[in-house]
Amino acid sequence: MAVPQPVLEPMVPVTAKVLGVRRETPDTWTLSLEPDRPGLPAFRPGQFNMVYAFGIGEVPISISGDPARPERLVHTVRAVGAVTRALAGSRPGQVVGLRGPFGTAWPVEEARGRDLVVAAGGIGLAPLRPVLYHVLSNRADYDRVVLLYGARSRAELLYRRDLERWRGRFDLDVLVTVDRPDARWRGNVGVVTALFQQAAFRPEATVALVCGPEVMIRFTLLELEKRGVPDHRTYVSLERNMKCGVGTCGHCQLGPVFVCHDGPVFRTDRIRDWLGKREP
């Protein structure tokens, strides 16, 4: 297949083949992609790609696969807009565009030897799944590991197979809650922050990673603070509109930082002034 005429190198996607599409929830699909051009840089947990449906548009989507298998790029997409709907409807063998990987990563190295709290809300689990893959492949490097995950309902839980497998392990605490239980739900009910009561970790030795809707992030940070986890050891991943992904176009700016380039993963104390403000 012909390559796009390169005009602006950082802005020109490479083509990637859709290997598989898997429905996760009623409105969320996971795509496995294989770039046509080998030698793309390996990704680190927390980074994202700009994924392009030709003729429709491009969106930043976090990479949610195993960082030890960088040749296959896994993206979980919630069909909420024109581009994500098109991507969700793609079929194996089809071609999409890719640019990346972009952005900062979760501090998996810095967290070594410490307790790790991973708190996710809804599709916020997608950028955190590579962390869990990494941690479980290097389990001896970390002390206690706790996953706190909240979804709106049982049907909206992502990565059911992973969650069930992880819950079967003795070296990982997996706590899951839903806002709206149905008759078949036997687990926790309520918001993610309620799960902290059951979570066993040592606040003074903990690194916490948080991703979800901004309101969930806000309350989770409050809870972590209340439990004594210092804000220089809590990290959040933020979502913004992005057009370039490389710190140029201005769309994702939050105060002085570019979410695409200085983030999406931020150490909380570095953006504290800008969180929870009236849409700065």
Partner 1 sequence: MPPRLLATDEVEALFQALRRRGPVFGPAAGLDSGARPPPAGRLTPLRYAPLERACDAVLAPAAFGYPAKRLWFRPSVTLAAARRAVPASGPGPWEPGPPPAGAAPPLNPDPARPFAVWGVRGCDLAALERLDAVLMTGPVTDPEYAARRRAGTVVAFTCTQAGPACFCTATGGSPVPAGGCDLVVTPLAGGPGGNGAREYLVEPRSARGEALVEEVGGRPAGRAAVAAAAAVIGSVRAALPRSLNGRLRPENAAQKAARRLDSPAWDELAGRCLGCAACSLTCPTCPCFDVVERVSATADAGWRERRWTSCLVPDFGRLASHNARARRENRLKHWLLHKLAPAEKVTGGLTCVGCGRCSTWCPAGLGLRAALESLEGEGGLP
Quote the least distance from Cβ 277 to partner 1, whole Å.
5
Quote the least distance from Cβ 243 to partner 1, whole Å.
5
- Please give the Cα distance from 126 to 112 (Å, whole number): 21
Residue 182 interacting with partner 1 (CB under 8 A): no
Which of 144, 243, 267, 270 is the binder for partner 1 (CB under 8 A)?
A: 243
Residue 94 interacting with partner 1 (CB under 8 A): yes
Residue 280 interacting with partner 1 (CB under 8 A): yes
Cβ closest to partner 1, residue 96 vs residue 176 = 96
56: left (phi over 0), alpha (psi -120 to 50) or beta: alpha
- Please give the Cα distance from 53 to 85 (Å, whole number): 10
Residue 216 interacting with partner 1 (CB under 8 A): no
- Please give the Cα distance from 22 to 9 (Å, whole number): 32
Exposure letters 209-248 (e unless 16+ CB within 10 A, then b): bbbbeeebbbbbbebbeeeebeeebbbbbbbeebbbbbbe
Among candidates 164, 117, 166, which has minimal Cα distance to 137? 166
Region of 41-49, 184-192, 225-233, 253-261 interacting with partner 1 (CB under 8 A): 253-261
- Please give the Cα distance from 177 to 187 (Å, whole number): 6
Residue 253 interacting with partner 1 (CB under 8 A): yes
Cβ closest to partner 1, residue 89 vs residue 113 = 89
Query: One symbol per residue from 54 to 93: x for binding partner 1 (CB under 8 A), - otherwise; what is it?
Result: xxxxxx--------------------xx--x-xx-xx---
Residue 53 interacting with partner 1 (CB under 8 A): yes
15, β-bridge pairs = 97
- Please give the Cα distance from 146 to 148 (Å, whole number): 6
Cβ closest to partner 1, residue 34 vs residue 162 = 34
Give the footprint of partner 1 on this chain (CB under 8 A). 1-13, 15, 52-59, 80-81, 84, 86-87, 89-90, 94-97, 239-241, 243-244, 246-251, 253, 255-256, 261, 273, 277-280
